[in-house]
Structure 1
């Protein structure tokens, strides 16, 4: 449906998960600040997602070309939810990006499609930009249900979106997250095209054409360039490889796509 002649601004995210310390973030910030510095916010959107405890350190240490976001939010706006952080609090802290629906939250914290949809709703109300994750498990893929699962997850998210300009869809096949396995460029392109087609058919073609769909799942400096060449791949949500200097190489692959 699209080609690299499109006007979509590329997006690269680094999900630090439950990793980091004040000293490691200080060291990482030096690696992520090479000279000459390779990009500006006008070139593409680059967002790192540290733990909530380390957000301040990331904001303080990273150059201004980076955005800093949160890895998750509370399903409610406020109340008796010990340990949770609401979307309004994230916005109040001066942040603009949030991840929802990551496979680890779905599998380990019981985030159903309905719960993910509620988080999207809260984020939209707070004025946050949302990186919404979808993707199938290995069992679902082997059963031929990958597309069905992705559409089911996508439908729940779409029902809560009020501003598509503030949404990035991250397609992350669960079997490729942290496993060293990676979807082939052709597989990733097919799934991204199918996601864009669903948006075109169920929302609008204009929104589909402008929606940024990024790939996640064992993205590294060695495979990012071939993935980035695919016409419907608009960037990456990176896990482990965002914790070292190789993250800059992944960012650069989006600059030359």
Structure 2
């Protein structure tokens, strides 16, 4: 039985003090993260160490929003896997549509990051998803399948990988894929994992939905057979909303 996983991606929001306050509010009310759901939060880089102190004994997973594909070197402004681990991270979000759209990350770049993070011992949340134009053109499955295949190329063991399906047109827009639309893409992703890594890996792979998940729609989305929790953006910046979504996943 797959355990749902709900991770809050705080993006470029909160100062260190604000991040600590938000993390404290979540940790105090959420408990150990047991009862069928794994819980994580991904604050900005500058807050990782302080937030890690808050959630360290709570069972909440500390995640980073990105990493570089090299171990060290002259890469101004970048952060390595080793640095993330030293800050207390056990997971990293990679291939988010905003990284692809605004920073030019290709499937090949995302793949290098995925392999580096896995080699370094981190869990990976691999983000995939289509734009509105691509959905309207009827190529959603082709786009998402290619992102999965190329993102996981050369990976032997996907036991530490979670895939997050995030339709780009639903991120931060207030629009949400219907539960059936999301389920169809999640089923296609699981079939791709089955073709690449076998039946057991596909059965165990957790596939999150992301894209304007809110307390009002979380339960319906998470009830779908191939949706295993959510990667939460805006709603994760409000402790009450995030906790309500976690409870829906539990």
Shared fold (TM-score, shorter chain, > 0.5): yes
- Taking the aligned partners of 2:212 and 2:33, their CA distance within structure 1 comes to 25
Match of 1:46 in 2: 39
TM-score (norm 1): 0.92
Q: 1:24 to 1:93 in 2, by over 3 A?
A: closer
Q: Please list every run of 5 or more consecutive structure 2 residues that lacks an aligned counterpart in the other structure.
A: none
| SS of aligned partner of 2:215 | coil
> Is 1:59–2:52 an aligned residue pair?
yes
Confirm or deny: 8 A CA contact 1:117 1:156 kept in the other structure: yes
Count of paired positions: 248
TM-score (norm 2): 0.94
Higher mean Cα deviation, 38-47 or 90-99?
A: 38-47
Match of 2:211 in 1: 217
| SS of aligned partner of 1:11 | strand
Confirm or deny: 8 A CA contact 1:100 1:133 kept in the other structure: yes
Confirm or deny: 8 A CA contact 2:49 2:87 kept in the other structure: no
- Taking the aligned partners of 1:103 and 1:119, their CA distance within structure 2 comes to 15
Confirm or deny: 8 A CA contact 2:48 2:87 kept in the other structure: no
Q: 1:52 to 1:30 in 2, by over 3 A?
A: closer
Q: 1:51 to 1:225 in 2, by over 3 A?
A: same
Higher mean Cα deviation, 61-70 or 118-127?
A: 61-70
Higher mean Cα deviation, 197-206 or 133-142?
A: 197-206
Match of 1:4 in 2: none
Q: Write the deviation string for residues 140-180 of structure 1: whole angstroms up to 9, x where unpaired.
A: 11111111100111111221323211000000000000000
- Taking the aligned partners of 2:73 and 2:32, their CA distance within structure 1 comes to 40
Which of 231, 244, 248 is residue 249 of structure 1 equivalent to? 244
| SS of aligned partner of 1:223 | helix
- Taking the aligned partners of 1:29 and 1:89, their CA distance within structure 2 comes to 21
Confirm or deny: 8 A CA contact 2:6 2:246 kept in the other structure: yes
Which of 22, 32, 39 is residue 28 of structure 1 equivalent to? 22
CA drift at 1:34 = 4.8
Match of 1:230 in 2: 224
Confirm or deny: 8 A CA contact 2:149 2:192 kept in the other structure: no
- Taking the aligned partners of 2:23 and 2:196, their CA distance within structure 1 comes to 41
Q: 1:55 to 1:48 in 2, by over 3 A?
A: same
CA drift at 1:92 = 3.1
| SS of aligned partner of 2:172 | coil
Confirm or deny: 8 A CA contact 2:95 2:126 kept in the other structure: yes
Confirm or deny: 8 A CA contact 1:118 1:160 kept in the other structure: no
Q: Write the deviation string for residues 55-113 of structure 1: whole angstroms up to 9, x where unpaired.
A: 12211223612111110001212111011011122123332100000000001111000
- Taking the aligned partners of 2:33 and 2:62, their CA distance within structure 1 comes to 14
Confirm or deny: 8 A CA contact 1:97 1:130 kept in the other structure: yes
CA drift at 1:252 = 0.5
- Taking the aligned partners of 2:32 and 2:195, their CA distance within structure 1 comes to 35
Q: Greater share of helix residues, 1 or 2?
A: 2
